Amino acid sequence: MKVSELSPDALARGFAQGGLRLRIGPFVTQLRTDLRSVAEAICFFYGDYELPSEETVCDFHVRLESPPGLRRWYRKQVVFLMDGQNQFQPFPFDLAPPLFEWGLNWCISNRAHQYLIVHSAVVERNGRAVLLPGRPGSGKSTLAAGLLHRGFRLLSDEHALIRPEDGRVVPVPRPVALKNESIPVIRELAPELVLGPSFHDVTKGDVSHVRPPESCVHRAHEAALPGAVVFPRFDCESLTQLEAVPKAAALMELVDNSVNYGVLGTTAFQTLANLVDGATCAALDFADIERALDALESLT
Amino acid sequence: MVSPNRRQLWTVPPEAQLEWRTWNGTSVVFNPASGATHLLDSVAAEVLKRLETQPTSIEELCERMSEFLYSSFGSSLDPTFQIETLVTKFDELGLIAPTRP
């Protein structure tokens, strides 16, 4: 059964009464929440995703709820719990939908150690995965959304999940998070992409998410070998420049962008070294999104 | 920096099991014992590899690597200072340790 096969009311009831399971890429998340806004966000962004049966083993058990006490009613807040444990400081209540995404990022980063996890957007075309590793603000999500517009398949917006056994990147297609100026840029560049509502967060600024195209969700079982690693460097005053990065330097930068390198140790080193060995490595300085996309397309 | 004893033997501990990858003369080394990853140029890599092969002193490294260093840097640099600096740094990073014959 897919999310879209349930009415919004039925979905909200399911989340509130014991929770529902949601399959996102290789992960099954059990979500319990009585917050209507979260149910509506799931309805909007995850309509094409599977709702596994109650017997399905879950990777993450997640709850979003109002905290007890005054904050349930006054200057309302929302908390994210995984396995019953509160993982973050409370967020303003109206940020509950993006908190689900941020919380899921946390779950993957801290639990999915069967993969080597790199902080990276990943897209694919012609069987080759393109990794766009970088810190927040580097432009990776904006580029990923732009590449969707150019016909690339989204594997991930936030995490490259690399299988150590064969070096392939496992898809975990989820809403692409755009921030601040990139929101109107993508709206104008790619009007066919479906953007959700904007939220304002004190630390991140304005945030809006792009719904993954249905085709990306349907192909979530198709892992891909990395063909290119491109380190994006957004600077509003940059000219567009794609330049080769020496493989040793690329490996060091991937290590720096790895989430669980210290957990996996030698396996992580070998996996990243093999990845670099087989991929074109480059850095992309850009300010203009169209020219940046042209440069990236030239790699595939 | 206090100059290390040039006759002191240094080695990569056998249990270190360093992992290496090299591209175009630049190496990346992973030390499982520390979990750290290091970027090494050709000279640093050559010194570390020699210490990984067998216990060696700074004095011996200078003698055996004179041709290599000359081809890398010409006559403008003092190889002893370079090797002393590298050995000191490798020791600080936990890549090598002093040893006895």
Q: Tell me, what's the ipTM?
A: 0.91
Question: In this predicted structure, what is the pLDDT of residue B66?
Answer: 81
Is the pLDDT at A199 greater than 80? The verdict is yes
Check A269 against B30: CB less than 8 A apart. Answer: yes
Which residues of chain A does B31 touch, with a Cβ-Cβ cutoff of 8 Å? none
Which of A246, A252, A261 is the closest to B24 by Cβ?
Answer: A246
Contact call for B26 and A266, based on CB within 8 A = no
Nearest-by-CA chain B residue for A260: B35
**What tokens does A159 get?**
């995490």
Which residues does A9 contact at the CB level (< 8 Å), separation at least 6? none
Average pLDDT, chain A: 94
In a mutational test of the B interface, the residue from A260, A264, A269 whose CB has the highest number of chain B CBs within 10 Å is A269
Residue A193 has pLDDT above 80, yes or no: yes
Please give the pLDDT value at position B101.
Answer: 82
**Cβ A38 vs Cβ A96: under 8 Å:** yes
Q: What is the DSSP letter of A279?
A: S
A247–B23 CB contact, under 8 Å? yes
Please work out, in degrees rounded to the nearest 5, the angle formed at the alpha carbon of residue A256 by the alpha carbons of A255 and A262. 60
Question: A245 to chain B, minimum CA–CA distance in Å?
Answer: 12
Collect all residues of chain B within an 8 Å Cβ-Cβ radius of residue A276. 21
Task: A215-220: list long-range contacts, CB under 8 Å, 24+ apart.
Answer: A215/A153, A216/A148, A216/A153, A216/A154, A216/A155, A216/A171, A216/A173, A217/A48, A217/A49, A217/A173, A218/A48, A219/A153, A219/A171, A220/A24, A220/A25, A220/A171, A220/A172, A220/A173
Candidates A248, A266, A270; nearest CB to B26: A248
Per the CB < 8 Å rule, is B39 touching A265?
no
Read off the pLDDT of each residue in A223-227 and give the average, rounded to a whole number.
98
CB–CB contact A248 B32 (8 Å): no
What integer is the mean pLDDT of A116-125?
97
Average pLDDT over residues A278-284: 97
Amino acid at A120: S
User: Which of A150, A196, A162, A153 lies closest to A177 in space, CA to CA?
Assistant: A196
- The pLDDT of residue B91 is 96
Out of A247, A252, A269, the one facing B19 most closely (by C-beta) is: A269
Closest among A150, A165, A153 to A121, alpha carbons compared: A153
Nearest CA in chain A to B38: A252
Predicted local distance difference test score (pLDDT) of residue B77: 65
- What residues have CB less than 8 Å from A236, skipping those under 6 apart? A287
Minimum-distance CB partner of A252 among B19, B24, B37: B37
Q: Is the pLDDT reported for residue B75 higher than 70?
A: no
Q: Give pLDDT, residue A134.
A: 93
> What tokens appear for A239 in the block?
């000219």
Distance CA B40, CA B51 (A): 14
pLDDT value, residue B76: 62
Most A CBs within 10 A among B19, B26, B30, B42, hence the mutation to make, goes to: B30
pLDDT for res A70 = 72
Residue A254, CA distances (Å) to A131, A206, A229, A269, A274 in order: 10, 28, 9, 10, 12
Identify which of B17, B28, B35 has the shortest CB distance to residue A248.
Answer: B28
List, for residues A6-44, the tens digit of each pLDDT value. Answer: 999 999 999 999 899 999 999 999 999 999 999 999 999
Q: What is the pLDDT of residues A51-92, one digit of tens each?
A: 999 999 999 999 999 887 776 677 789 999 999 999 888 999
Instruction: Please answer yes or no on whether B39 and A249 come within 8 Å at the CB atom.
Output: yes
Evaluated on CA atoms A148, A150, A153, A154, the torsion sign reads negative
> Per-residue pLDDT averaged across A133-154, rounded?
94
The two three-digit tokens of residue B55, written as one number? 């216990």
Q: How far is A286 from chain B (nearest CA, A)?
A: 27
CB A109 within 8 A of CB A159: yes
What residue of A is the nearest CA neighbor of B26? A248
For chain A, list residues whose CB is within 8 angstroms of any CB belonging to chain B: 246-249, 251-252, 255, 261-262, 265-266, 269-270, 273, 276-277
Is A248 within 8 Å of B37 when comparing Cβ atoms? no
Name the pLDDT band for A110 (thresholds 50, 70, 90): very high
Q: Name chain A contacts of B32, Cβ cutoff 8 Å.
A: 265-266
